[in-house]
């Protein structure tokens, strides 16, 4: 369990997130949704120990996060930040092996290399293994960094917009892998997504942030409503349900473009 108790985050005079209480369970995929600038990235950074807590407590499996022992805290965390720029003179395989950094001694073991290759294969990107990472496309980099955090075998997985550069096939591949491994390995996974339909399809629990506060928390079928989406994003939507009862969001246009009169008469 990851417990957030009365968490408040500030940068200077700006309060980013206030009074957040959450209990996130092992084996579940939690997806944070919410408008731009509402504190999603800041929350992940705080959970990784990159942004100090202004107030409140965070505990992972009973162990509190403490400012003087952050490197120990981070050992159990797979963190994939939003920025996936990789100006390194390393191959994709070498970048993935860095996921084992906390365990690497002077030499790489065959086991480390096998695990890195297996992670690339599981994500269908083994063909990228020898490519220098600075030559990869944005989507390829994102997949390689995902393989790297998988290799950490984290207790807590923090992913900031992990599919933002991915095509449809790779979005599904990454999310399916994350969901399956979270359940199988008992990870506590937290991912920020902007795509509400992807969030509804894969989240066990949605964490809905708006105006720096928790607006809703729970399974997508209970949480996602037209009223909530409209209140958050000020966009008219219908929230419909598929045959499995999963919600999906259809955006509605408030106005329709009329053809220019000169074109309409043609
Ligand atoms: N280093 C910083 N200095 C000043 N303000 C910051 C800093 N980092 C974030 N903020 C502000 O904190 C607020 C929350 O930012 P954050 O990046 O957490 O939002 P977000 O929900 O992840 O947004 P997005 O969906 O656009 O990625 C924003 O108003 C942002 O401008």
10 alpha carbon, distance to own chain's centre: 21
Nearest CA to 157 out of 247, 263, 80, 66 is that of 80
CA 39 / ligand 1 centre spacing (Å):
6
C-alpha 150 to ligand 1 mean position (Å): 26
Rounded-to-integer distance, Cα 168 and Cα 240, Å: 21
pTM of the entire predicted model? 0.91
- Output the CA 221–ligand 1 centroid distance in Å: 28
Query: Does 30 have pLDDT greater than 70?
Result: yes
Q: How far is the CA of 159 from the centre of ligand 1 (A)?
A: 16
Average pLDDT, the chain: 90
Residue 106 has pLDDT above 70, yes or no: no
The span from the CA of 220 to the CA of 99, in Å, is 31
Give me the residues paired with residue 248 across strands: 240
Q: Which atom of ligand 1 is nearest to the CA of 35?
A: 25
Which ligand 1 atom is nearest residue 209's CA?
A: 21
CB 209 within 8 A of CB 37: no
Ligand 1 atom at shortest distance from the alpha carbon of 39: 18
- Token match 């990159």: residue? 50
In order of 100, 102, 160, the CA distances from 97 in angstroms are 6, 11, 21
* Alpha carbons 249 and 33: distance in angstroms, whole number: 13
Nearest CA to ligand 1 atom 31: 37
- Cα(30) to ligand 1 centroid in Å equals 20
Q: Which is the closest atom of ligand 1 to the Cα of 43?
A: 18
- Hey, what are 37's tokens? 């600038």
**CB under 6 Å to ligand 1: residues?**
11, 14, 16, 34, 36-42
Q: Determine the pLDDT at residue 260.
A: 74
Question: Is residue 78's pLDDT more than 70?
Answer: yes
Q: Name the pLDDT band for 257 (thresholds 50, 70, 90).
A: low
In this predicted structure, the answer to whether residue 180 has a pLDDT above a threshold of 70 is: yes
Which of 94-108, 141-155, 160-174 has the least mean pLDDT? 94-108
What are the structure tokens assigned to 21, written together? 């209480």
Atom 30, ligand 1: residue with shortest CA distance: 37
Residue nearest to atom 29 of ligand 1 (CA): 37
Q: What is the pLDDT, as a whole number, of residue 89?
A: 82
Distance 80 CA to ligand 1 centre (A): 17
């Amino acid at each position: 369990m990851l417990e957030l108790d009365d968490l408040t985050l500030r940068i200077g005079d700006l309060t980013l997130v206030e009074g957040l209480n959450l209990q996130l369970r092992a084996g579940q995929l939690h997806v944070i949704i919410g408008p731009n600038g509402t504190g999603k990235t800041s929350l992940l950074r705080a959970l990784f120990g990159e942004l100090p807590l202004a107030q409140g407590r965070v505990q992972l499996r009973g162990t509190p996060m403490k400012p003087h022992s952050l490197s120990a805290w981070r050992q159990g965390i797979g963190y994939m930040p939003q920025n996936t720029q990789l100006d390194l003179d390393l191959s994709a395989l070498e970048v993935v092996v860095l996921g084992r950094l906390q365990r690497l001694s002077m030499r790489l073991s065959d086991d480390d290399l096998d695990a890195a290759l297996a992670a690339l294969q599981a994500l269908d990107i083994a063909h990228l293994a020898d490519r220098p990472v600075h030559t990869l496309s944005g989507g390829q980099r994102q997949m390689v960094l995902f393989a790297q955090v998988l290799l950490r075998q984290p207790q807590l997985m923090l992913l900031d917009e992990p599919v933002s550069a991915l095509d449809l096939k790779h979005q599904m591949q990454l999310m399916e892998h994350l969901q399956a491994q979270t359940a199988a390995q008992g990870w506590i996974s937290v991912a920020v997504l902007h795509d509400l339909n992807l969030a509804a399809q894969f989240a066990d629990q949605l964490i809905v942030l708006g105006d720096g506060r928790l607006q809703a928390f729970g399974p997508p079928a209970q949480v996602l409503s037209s009223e909530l989406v409209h209140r958050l994003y000020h966009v008219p939507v219908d929230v419909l349900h598929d045959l499995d009862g999963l919600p999906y969001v259809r955006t509605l246009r408030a106005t329709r473009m009329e053809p220019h009169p000169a074109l309409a008469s043609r």
